[in-house]
Structure 1
Amino acid sequence: MKILLAPSILSADCSRIGEEIKNVLKSGGDIIHFDVMDNHYVPNLTFGPMVLQSIRNFGITSIIDVHLMVTPVDSLIVQFSKAGADFITIHPESTNHLDRSLELIKSCGCKAGIAINPATSLGVLEYVIEKLDIILLMSVNPGFSGQEFIPSTFKKLLKVRKLIDKSNRKIFLEVDGGINLTNIQKVASYGANILVIGSAIFKSKSYLKTIKEMRDQLVF
């Protein structure tokens, strides 16, 4: 699979979110990562379905990757699918019936994903991998942008890459948190093919220059 860059709008200027998304896509971003936090499952409060709908109404047609860090999660799966999500990723801890919630995502016409926190076991993947389109490894504790990459993620990356390859399924391996110009090449070399990047892009002086520098490091 091609390695995709997924700018995370958690780090964008929310006063002009539509323009920010257009600019970052024009500068070479592949898909938009949309972090949803409820100040319950994680200690922060971010975007709701109306924000996603407004982004679509603004004319954004790219893939939008919705990462739900909320509990309970099922009703929001439905709302975000209607608002324009393409991918929906949930945490195992956010639902009482993970299998059912993944089926719900698919029934809404979206790609289904599981997000694994830094201290969460990979064991759950064994039982639902046939329903997955995305496995998202959190390389920071979810809740805030600008955190440093947790090194133990590399060990998990290798394990999940082997699991995906063994399954013979087309599953995206996504990594979210602390990715920047100093570690992006290593993260990709361990098998990730969607790289979620927030602060390193949106806090830079030039989205175009930063994304080009990242692309240059992804040529193996």
Structure 2
Amino acid sequence: MLIIPSILVRTSQELKNQIQSINKSVSRVQIDLADGIFVDNKTVSDPKTITKYCKIEAELHLMVNDPLKELKKWQKVKQIKKILVHFESVKNLHDILSTLHAYNWEIGIVLNPETNIKTLDEYISEIKGVMFMGVHPGKQGQKLLPKVLNNIKKFKTKYPKIFVELDGGVNEKNLEKIIISGVDAICPGSAIFGNKNKPADNIKNMNKFINSLTKK
């Protein structure tokens, strides 16, 4: 199970600091982009900082009402490999997906906790991944909603080859249950950046804990 740290910040300086703190610890990072409309929170949208300071692959988690407008800023950022679009944020998801394919990005659909997983069925042939929100999107530090793990189990049983991420509510106390769900990657935010320890140390410790659980 991969760790893809999730960065949700309001300033370019915070973005730079968090990127630099994990550049040598993981192979990919997730950048949360929130417009203050689709979710209450608003984050910085700063392609220049990613271009200059990010030394690893990145994926964009779009918590925005107009994904295509936001993505125009990021077309030339070579670090961006994957785009995660909320099912709930657009009226015609097929149109969005066709545009993303033209940009040669990996594509993932994000589902909020209350959205039925059956809504994904008609899009499976167009995507390579799904990200389940373990919490309501927009803020870090929330508790994982247990029903989401059940949804992941059902989805992975039906579509075992689709790469599945879990974003929100991830910590060492629930990692064992998360692993059992069959998820391929976790996207911790506050568990990596939200305490006094160095983010790189938090990643190292979390990887050790994951390895100890998977060897049981």
Length-normalised TM-score, structure 2:
0.89
Q: How far does residue 13 in structure 1 lie from its aligned partner after superposition?
A: 8.1
CA contact (8 A) 2:88 2:111 kept: no
Distance 1:185 1:126 in 2: 28
Task: Say if 2:139 is the partner of 1:144.
Answer: yes
Show the 5 A alignment for 1:28-43. 28-43=25-40
C-alpha separation in 2, matches of 1:13 and 1:43: 16
Correspondent of 2:116 among 112, 116, 121: 121
Mind listing any 5+ residue stretches in structure 2 that lack a counterpart?
none
Matched positions, count: 210
Output the CA distance in 2 between the equivalents of 1:185 and 1:33. 22
- Aligned partner of 1:199 in structure 2 is 190
The SS at the match of 1:105 is helix
Correspondence 1:80 to 2:74? yes
The 3-state SS of whatever aligns with 1:152 is: helix
The Cα of 1:198 is off from its aligned counterpart by 0.6
Counterpart pick for 2:171 among 173, 180, 186 = 180
- Partner of residue 91, structure 2: 96
RMSD of the TM alignment (CA)? 1.9
**SS in structure 2 at match of 1:78:** helix
Match of 1:70 in 2: 64
Q: What's the TM-score, normalizing by structure 1?
A: 0.88
**Residue number in structure 2 paired with 1:212:** 204
After alignment, is 185-194 or 154-163 more displaced?
185-194
Q: 1:141 to 1:122 in 2, by over 3 A?
A: same
Deviations 1:41-75 (A, max 9, x none): 11111122xx13322123x2311110111112222
Gaps of 5+ in 1: none
Quick one: structure 1 residues 201 and 195, their matched pair in 2 at CA, closer, same or farther if it must change by over 3 Å? Answer: same
For residue 130 of structure 1, what is the amino acid of its counterpart?
S
1:44 is aligned to 2:41 = yes
Q: Give the drift of 1:183.
A: 1.3
In percent, how many aligned pairs have the same letter? 27
Are the counterparts in 1 of residues 88 and 112 from structure 2 also a CA contact under 8 Å?
no
After TM superposition, give the deviation of residue 12 of structure 1 in Å.
9.2
